[in-house]
Structure formats: C-alpha cells, structure tokens
Amino acid sequence: MKHEFRVRVGPAGFRIGSDWKQPIDQLAALYSDYPAPDIPDFTVRLFAQRPWRRFLRPSVMIGGDYMLPDAAPVSLAHGLLAAEMGMNLQMALGQRRYLLLHASAVERDGKALLMTGHSGAGKSTLSALLGERGWRFMGDEFVLVDLSTAVVHAFPRLVSLKNEAITLFEGAVDADRLGPLMRDTPKGDIRHLQPPTDAIAKMSEPARPALLLFPRFGHAPDVREVGEAEVFVRLTQASTNYVALGEAGFDALSSLVRTIPTRAVDYPDTENAVASVERLWMELAE
C-alpha cells in the first residue's frame, strides 16, 4: 500500500498499510520506541471505500487479515483510532497462540495484577495510572495467557484514554507521550498515551498472575469475594478465543481460576481505587 508502518507489541507483530500518510505518521511518532517485526503476525489495511474518497470527505475503512463484515468507516481525523481498532481486531479474531483475555495488567516483582470488567469499569484508566506510579504497565486492553506455562504476556499498545480519563494525564505526563485529541469518535473523546519507557523496554518479559480484580468505577467502596465458577464464566466472556483454543484454553483458564486470588472491587474515584488496589495486593498477592 502507499504508506506502511510496522510495529511489534509484546509477542505480536503488525504491518499497517494506509492510503493516507497521516495515520502512519501518528503511529510512527507514538510507537517510536517499539521494535519493528520483519515478518508480522498480522496485516491491517486502512483504505478508502472508493478511490475518490481518499480526498473527498475521506473516510477510513478498516481491513486486514481478519475483518468484520459490517464494520463502519471512521473519519480520517480519527485515522489513528482506526489503526488501533484494526490492530485490536486482528488480536480479537486472529490470536491463536495465547488465551486472550479482555483485561488490563500491571506487574511488580515478577507478579501480575489482572483487571477485567465491562468497558467503562475503569480497568484501562486504572492500569495506566498504576503504570505511572511504580508498577510496570503490561497492557490496558488485552492480557495473553500462555497455554503451556500459565504465565501472562504483556501487550502494552498505546493506552486509549477516554473522556474524563484524558484530563487525568494531560499536564501530568510528558506532552510527547500524548497523541492528538480525537473528539466525538464512536467511543466519545479519545486521546492515546504512549506507555512508560520501562513498559516498552520490558514488554517481552512475562509475569506470573498473582491477583485478579473485577473493578467497578463510581460506586461506594466495597470488596467482595467471587466464586470460582463465576470467575470462570466471567473470564470466558472476557475472552474472544477461549472456544477456538479447545482443550488447551480450558486447561489454561481452569488452572488460572483455581490458583489466582480474586475480588470484585467497587470504588468511587481513581485515588480511592489506587489505594484499595495497593491494600489488596499486600493482603492477597502471593
């Protein structure tokens, strides 16, 4: 294609082709510290629906090795978002080497804290915040569970800050680490954040899962135990490839569920969340 960028995030390499220069330049700036794969795992294509739509009201179609048949185009101003969506789509539909959990993760002392829940539950913001406060950021979207050793692999792509979460980081982090502010995307306002340097440098180091939390933002502080069967069901729902991995996926997930301490956590605001995460980590992480 006319413009191309390659990047490896954790164990997954991507080749992103585009009919336009702008999204590629933005990717190159924000992923500047990442390695480039020579043979990528996945191809993403950003293309115009019709040749003249490259220039006239340009809208970006998202394609690649794995595609959704009815994906809607996004405006060129949101081209970086389109690239990120395309990469996520390849992982969600095409990842066959690891059990993919829709979860965020941070690491300390070789041990990983996993957080999963519905979108809007705050797992992404919380992981990014912890990444700025002494934890190693492993990813805000996907965690990759190894099928043979039960460790988890990092997937530290750009953090996708949404709406109110954007102001938490503006001013607090180096401005070079922030992408363009994209207003009124299908998911509201979005601004991408480059993960901290150590998160990128250590992205090939796996960690042993030591604590699993189901956070919920905007509720009175509360901590509840969750039964193993419920944890299992919630994690299968948080996985896009559990079924496709067959018995290997079953083994990896059931042994994770039986060994990892798990809590559901409600919190009213992010400061409260960071404090309760630190406390639970001290109490439970083995």
Partner 1 sequence: MNTNAYRADPPEARRVIALDGVALIFHRPSGLTHILAPPAPQILEALAEGDAEPAALLDRLKRDYDFGDSDDLEAALEARIAELEMSGLVWRA
Partner 2 sequence: MTDAGILTRALVDPSTTQNFDAGDWTALIAMARAEQLMGSLAHRLDGLGFLPEKVAQLCADARRFAEHARRQALWEAEMSRRVLAPLGEPVVLLKGTAYVAAGLSAGVGRSIGDLDILVSHEALDAVERALTGQGGWEWVKEDAYDDAYYRDYMHELPPLIHKERDRMIDVHHTVLPLTAKPTPDAVSMIADSVELENGLRILSPADMVCHSAAHLFADGDLAGGLRNLWDIDQLLRDFGTRDGFWKALGQRAERHQLAKPVARALRLAEALYETPLDGALARRGRVGDALYIRRLLARDDWGRETRKFLRLAFYIRSHWLRMPPLMLIRHLWTKWRKGQN
Residues that bind partner 2 (CB under 8 A): 1, 13, 15, 17, 37-41, 43, 45, 47, 63, 65-66, 96-97, 243-246, 248
The secondary structure of residue 148, as a DSSP letter, is T
183 binds partner 1 (CB under 8 A): no
Among 29, 36, 201, 233, binds partner 1 (CB under 8 A): 233
Using DSSP's 3-state secondary structure scheme, residue 110 falls into: coil
CA neighbor of 204 nearest in space, from 103, 61, 107: 107
Using DSSP's 3-state secondary structure scheme, residue 244 falls into: helix
Residue 43 binds: one of partner 1, partner 2, none (C-beta under 5 to 8 A by kind): partner 2
Cα distance from N-terminal residue to C-terminal residue, the chain:
49
Q: Output 45 or 263, the one with its CB closest to partner 2.
A: 45
96 binds partner 1 (CB under 8 A): no
250 binds partner 1 (CB under 8 A): yes
Q: Shortest Cβ distance from residue 227 to partner 1 (Å)?
A: 5
Residue 81 binds: one of partner 1, partner 2, none (C-beta under 5 to 8 A by kind): none
Among 228, 269, 271, 283, binds partner 1 (CB under 8 A): 228
CB contact at 8 A, 189 and 163: yes
Q: What does the DSSP assignment read for 203-218?
A: TT--BEEEEEEEEEES
Q: Shortest Cβ distance from residue 26 to partner 2 (Å)?
A: 20
Stretch that binds partner 1, among 3-11, 206-214, 238-246, 265-273 (CB under 8 A): 238-246
Q: Shortest Cβ distance from residue 200 to partner 2 (Å)?
A: 20
CA distance 251 to 139: 23
Residue 45 binds: one of partner 1, partner 2, none (C-beta under 5 to 8 A by kind): partner 2
68 binds partner 1 (CB under 8 A): no
